Homo-oligomer: A and B are copies of this chain.
């Protein structure tokens, strides 16, 4: 018998070469699998929802773990966490319905990119923010205007890296918000799913706008160019966090998607 569980997993990305398991390098998936095998030597590799890049954090990575015997969810949480290092933690556990697959049934994701501003980088945000140095403060209103141009269904070819293998470059961005927080800026991106490096390239481009290097009105042309060279630099990974994932409502996993199930 197989007993599937949905795990919400959080990690501090600085110590991981990304989520996806690799032969030698430390990965979130590999570390979690090691801990699960301490409880159940038949457990197959746990399946995550989104592949985060090396150094990227997560608060809401959704993982399917299939165990060979049933567990009380709170006991499974405590038992797995007892075998995990401090930088990766199972935050919640629920039994998953038969047939649920995280990648296939995800309909939305939220990423948060944290920027630091001002003359000095906050030591208490070290490794969790990209500190943007500069004499002048970022022009937040221009950044918000530029971000609004990205909302909608577009060909995001200008915002994916050369290694991205997604068959289609068309994605739907449902929301792009800029929030003041702890003396810095949080850029919040909600969409159906994202191309490789898409959030980091959108962030790098919005920061160019905030610095006055490009006008907010340039975004339309950057989208239309469908060329990576038209957009700004790729923001570094340490500012990025996979904050939340939504699934089709019929599975009863986590919160319902605020954009509905048809968004993908």
Contacts and interface: CB of A to CB of B under 8 A. Distances in A.
Interface in A181-218: none
B77 A126 contact: no
Instruction: Say what secondary structure dominates the interface of chain A.
Output: mixed
Copies of this subunit: 2
A59 interface: yes
A263 interface: no
Contact of A92 (B77, B119, B124): B119
A12 interface: yes
A253 interface: no
Contact of A57 (B124, B128, B241): B124
Contacts of A123: 10-12, 86-89
A118 interface: yes
A122 interface: yes
A87 B119 contact: no
Interface in A71-94: 74, 77-78, 81, 86-92
Contact of A126 (B78, B87, B90, B118): B87
A89 B119 CA distance: 10
30 contacts: A10-B120, A10-B122, A10-B123, A10-B124, A11-B123, A12-B123, A12-B124, A57-B124, A59-B122, A74-B119, A77-B119, A77-B120, A81-B120, A86-B121, A86-B123, A86-B126, A87-B126, A88-B123, A89-B120, A89-B121, A89-B122, A89-B123, A90-B120, A91-B118, A91-B119, A91-B120, A92-B119, A92-B120, A124-B128, A124-B241
